[in-house]
Amino acid sequence: MNFKKALNDIRQGKVILVYDFDDREGESDMTVASQYITYETVQMMRKKAGGLICTTTPYDKATEIGLPYMADVYYDDSNRFPLLRAMAPNDIPYDNTKSSFGVTINHRKTYTGITDRDRALTISRFAEVLFQDKPASEIAREIGEEFRSPGHVHLLNATEHILTNRKGHTELCTAMMYMAGVNPSATICEMMGDDGGSMTKKDVIRFADENNIEFITGDQVLGKWEEFKEKNGADY
């Protein structure tokens, strides 16, 4: 549980493991900086983690370029499709906010979009385009040109003032990217167990030890995040 090493590993494009909280999901996500994703990392997530591979977008970027929460897309179209309103995610047992799920994407140069190489291309290029030093309108135009939706990479939109209103893996892992000084988009995948449920915290720690991967808890992230914001005199 070496937090400094975890940040260094992120800067080097290595995966780390982030556990949220005992009273929330009680799950661990395999996490890597999106800008450093490779098909080998996607393959590792698919084989060793086994959950859903998702890529986070910080709130300000999503808002500036017009990347919506999927719940909002459904709600806005619910007059046409009333079932969408009935299926609103208002009863998530571990979360009192709407789902962080955004749209799904494939890069236009992918074939099916689901292969390890295809998903790596989609994620790495999304992170590259998203964080260009260009006006938001230019970035939005390029994303529209390069990506199609729906696709096989699930985007997750972090909440405004991350780790204030919501403390999910979307926010925890995005905060880790900020603190590591890389582009603040994380690609994450839940660690699944062999019993039909999530991998237990104990088993994740064992996996981390056996594979020389840093394991970080949500409580550690929260503590360091407050220090980071105070030091930088900014909210995110």
Does 152 qualify as catalytic in the annotation?
Answer: yes
Tokens of residue 171, six digits: 């926010």
Q: Of these residues, 29, 116, 118, 171, which one is catalytic?
A: 29
The single-letter code of the amino acid at 152 is: H
Cα–Cα distance, 80 to 69 (Å, whole number):
18
Report the pLDDT averaged over residues 90-101.
80
Residue pair 56/170 in contact (Cβ under 8 Å)? The answer is yes
Q: Of these residues, 54, 69, 178, 236, which one is catalytic?
A: 54
Residue pair 155/129 in contact (Cβ under 8 Å)? The answer is no
Q: What is the mean pLDDT of the chain?
A: 95
CA distances 214 to 17, 78, 149, 220, Å, are 6, 43, 34, 13
- Per-residue confidence (pLDDT) for residue 97, from 0 to 100: 67
Residue with tokens 């590259």: 128
- Per-residue confidence (pLDDT) for residue 30, from 0 to 100: 98
User: Where in the sequence is the domain holding 210, given as residue range(s)?
Assistant: 3-232
Q: Of these residues, 106, 173, 178, 189, which one is catalytic?
A: 106
Count of CB atoms situated within 10 Å of the CB of 149: 14
Does 29 qualify as catalytic in the annotation?
Answer: yes
Q: Is the pLDDT of residue 227 over 90?
A: yes
Q: Of these residues, 2, 60, 90, 94, which one is catalytic?
A: 94
Number of domains observed in the structure of the chain: 1
pTM of the model: 0.94
Q: Is the pLDDT of residue 95 over 80?
A: no
Residue pair 152/104 in contact (Cβ under 8 Å)? The answer is yes
Report the pLDDT averaged over residues 178-206.
97
CATH number of the domain at 217, please: 3.90.870.10
Residue pair 199/207 in contact (Cβ under 8 Å)? The answer is yes
Report the pLDDT averaged over residues 153-160.
96
Report the percentage of the chain scoring pLDDT > 70. 99
pLDDT band at 202 (very low <50, low <70, confident <90, very high): very high
pLDDT band at 1 (very low <50, low <70, confident <90, very high): confident
pLDDT band at 187 (very low <50, low <70, confident <90, very high): very high
pLDDT band at 91 (very low <50, low <70, confident <90, very high): confident
Q: Of these residues, 9, 27, 190, 214, which one is catalytic?
A: 190
